[in-house]
Structures are given as C-alpha cells and as structure tokens.
Amino acid sequence: MTHVLQPEPLTVEAFAPFGDVVAGASALPGGGNVQAINAGTAKRYDDLAQVDTTDQGGRTMVSLCDAVVRVGPIEIDLVERHPLGSQLFMPLSGTTLLVVVAAGDPPFTAANLRAFISTDGSGVNYRKGTWHMPLCPLGGEARFLVVDRDGPGDNCEEFHFPDGERPLVEIRL
Amino acid sequence: MTHVLQPEPLTVEAFAPFGDVVAGASALPGGGNVQAINAGTAKRYDDLAQVDTTDQGGRTMVSLCDAVVRVGPIEIDLVERHPLGSQLFMPLSGTTLLVVVAAGDPPFTAANLRAFISTDGSGVNYRKGTWHMPLCPLGGEARFLVVDRDGPGDNCEEFHFPDGERPLVEIRL
C-alpha cells in the first residue's frame, strides 16, 4: 500500500523541531530581534537561523544551488542527513518549496515523515543531523543560496526507502 | 565642487579587492567549484563568499534586512566598516543594488571611492574591514538575506564626509 502524505504549511512553529524557517521576500519574518539601522532607512531581523558548522574543524561555506523543478505527486525515495552541520537553503526568487523531514531513527516508514510546503519564498535551515529529502522546488526559478559546512569528516548519511514502500506527497498548490 | 562618481558593473573581478560577488537568480555564478548533486537533479556552485566571523569569539549569524529603496543621484554621507567580520547581503527578489566602497584609510575623499551597480540580483560579501556605504537598493522589493558576525567587541566604525564634500553617485539604469 502506498502511503500518501499531505503537506502542511511551513511555519516557524511547526518546523521548530527540525530547524529554522527564514521568511522569503514577501513573508513576515518570524522570530528574531528587530532593530532599525542605517539612520532608520533599514530594518533588520537578526539571528533567524542557527548556523552550526564548526564541529570537527568545519567552517561556514556560502554556495548557490540550481535545482530541477519537479511536479507532484512527489515520490520520496530517500532522505539524508548531515551529522556535522546545519544547512540553509534560501530561494532567490520566491520558489515554492517542498520540505520533507523524518523524525526518529532509520529504518524509516511513512509514519516517520512530515511534509511542509513553503509558498511565500521562505527558506529552511535544517538543524545539524535532521533527516530530510533532497532539495525539491515545485515551481518558478529554482536557485537557492546555501549556507552550510565545509570541512573534514563524513557529513552525509542516506536512508533509501525500499521499492514499493516509497511514500508519496500530494501537491495541491 | 561636487565630485560625481559613475558606477561600474558589479563583477567578481572588479570587486575582488573588496570582497565577493554572489550571482543572483538570473546571473551566471562566477568562480566556485561546480558539481552535480542529488543524482543529477541539482547543480551546486560551492564556496562563493568567504565568511569570516570568528575573530574575538564571534559566530556566524543569519538575518533579514528590509531597506528603503532610493532614487538617484545618491549622495554619500558616510562609509562604515566592520573590523571583526565579513558581511554578505543577498537580494531575495532581484533588487538592483548600488555598492560604494572606499580604498585606503580615512579621512576619505571622492578619490578613495569606487561605485558598483548590480542589476541582475547579485549580492555582495564585504571582506572584513572593507569600508562601504550602508545598504542602498535602487528598485524592486528590497529584502536581503544577511550573513555576518555576532559577538563581543566593537565591530562598526564610521567615516562621515564633511558638509559640502559629499560625493554624488550618478544612477543611469
């Protein structure tokens, strides 16, 4: 039997067990300290994502990632995690984004998964060690700014769902 | 006499003495190691900006900044620098951006300044200690993702141009 997941909205509160949500261009930032800077010509929302990259001699790296846009329903064939560092993906042009994370430990089933959709250009910062599906944009341009870890050590683990047991995520935009 | 600056295009090569340029949503990334990831469904351009935030117990912080959009010509009343850390500003919706930096040491005149314009949504990462004008978007939505330093110590110095000696930047878009 195929297990079908219904995604929920990606909000700061709902995603808190897995990491941070950083508001996109048209969204209201959640959390953070707000301050006026530059003689009142700018407003800053400080400290919205916990960058955690220094384990085992790691450093913070800034990259870009262009991803293939997918259409639903989305079959989840694997989840991965980075045990040594956090990983932030920020859409640079309002891309709709599917985020699927797994709670607990492998072997996973659909019961371990939660699916989130960001439709306002918001990005996600996976906490160090959070199991997640690879980057999955659902529309628009799909370039992301990435803030994650570079350094020694094995920083990627994968869990592959067996054939016939791959959960599906329904997409209704 | 008013000194008038003509901005040049913001390119990786031209801006190299002052920091990094990170390509916007529609620009071709310059520099960085390119690799295919996620079974070929994504392309990563690694390590495009040098994040340098750990002096004196600092850490990397991710923030958002909403800035007032300005219209030209732009009068430069001050430049500032952060002696303890780099500072990345990445437009989240393709904002046109004026970047003015100063070479050498204060007191500055217009002869110390260089002006750059990014019209393709690209962002800038000021190297630690680079003198620059405050954030100056020229159009569109003006939200930026900011990656800079949080920590102890005095991390902001300013130089104010005297009345009557403020350089002007001509804007022709």
A92 token code pair = 């640079």
Indicate whether A68 pLDDT > 70. Answer: yes
Query: Which range is most confident: A23-27, B1-5, B67-71, B152-156?
Result: B152-156
Q: Do A42 and B67 count as a contact with CB atoms less than 8 A apart?
A: yes
- B56-96, pLDDT tens digit by residue? 999 999 999 999 999 989 999 999 999 999 999 999 988 99
Identify the pLDDT of residue B129. 98
B75 contacts chain A (CB < 8 A) = no
Q: What is the reported pLDDT for B31?
A: 67
Query: B residues 100-119 near A, CB within 8 Å?
Result: none
- Which segments of A53-95 are extended strands (E)? 59-67, 74-75, 78-81, 87-91
What pLDDT does residue A39 have?
A: 81
> Would the pLDDT of B104 be above 70?
yes
Please tell me if residue B61 touches chain A, with a CB cutoff of 8 Å.
yes
Q: Is residue B1 over pLDDT 70?
A: no
Q: How far is B169 from A155, CA to CA, in rounded Å?
A: 46
Across the interface, do A43 and B65 touch by the CB < 8 Å criterion? yes
A97 interfaces chain B, CB cutoff of 8 Å: no
CB contact under 8 A, A22 and B94: no
Q: Which of A26, A92, A127 is the best substitution to test chain B (most B C-beta atoms within 10 A)?
A: A92
Q: What pLDDT score does B113 carry? A: 98
What is the phi/psi pair of residue B64, to 5°? -115, 150
Residues B128-151 have pLDDT tens digits of 999 999 999 998 779 999 999 999
Q: Which residues of A touch B65 (CB under 8 A)?
A: 37, 42-45
CB-nearest partner of B143 from A25, A38, A48 = A25
Q: What are phi and psi of A34, to 5 degrees?
A: -100, 130
Looking at residues B98-109, what average pLDDT do you find?
97
CA A173 to chain centre: 18
Q: For residue B24, list chain A residues with Cβ-Cβ distance below 8 A.
A: 92
Specify the pLDDT at position B28: 81
Interface contact A91-B91, CB threshold 8 A: no
The mean predicted confidence, pLDDT, of chain B is: 94
CA atoms in the 13 A half-sphere facing the CB of A12: 12
**B93, A90: Cβ pair inside 8 Å?**
no
The whole-angstrom distance between residue B43's C-alpha and the CA centroid of its chain comes to 25
Residue A135 clears pLDDT 90, i.e. is over it: yes
Would you say residue A105 has pLDDT above 70? yes
DSSP A116-164: EEE-SS-EEEEPTT-EEPPPEEEES--EEEEEEEESSS---EEEEPPTT
- How high is the pLDDT of residue A104? 96
Choose among A154, A161, A16: nearest CA to A82.
A154
Identity (one letter) of the amino acid at A3?
Answer: H
Whole-number pLDDT of residue B157: 97
Structure confidence at residue A72 as a pLDDT band (50, 70, 90): confident
The per-residue pLDDT for A2 is 74
Q: What pLDDT is attached to residue A31?
A: 67
Give residue for tokens 């949080």: B150
- Report the pLDDT value the prediction gives residue A172, as an integer from 0 to 100: 87
Assembly ipTM: 0.95
A51 touches chain B (CB under 8 A): yes
Nearest to B135 among A24, A42, A62 (CB): A42
In the predicted structure, residue A10 carries a pLDDT above the cut 90: yes
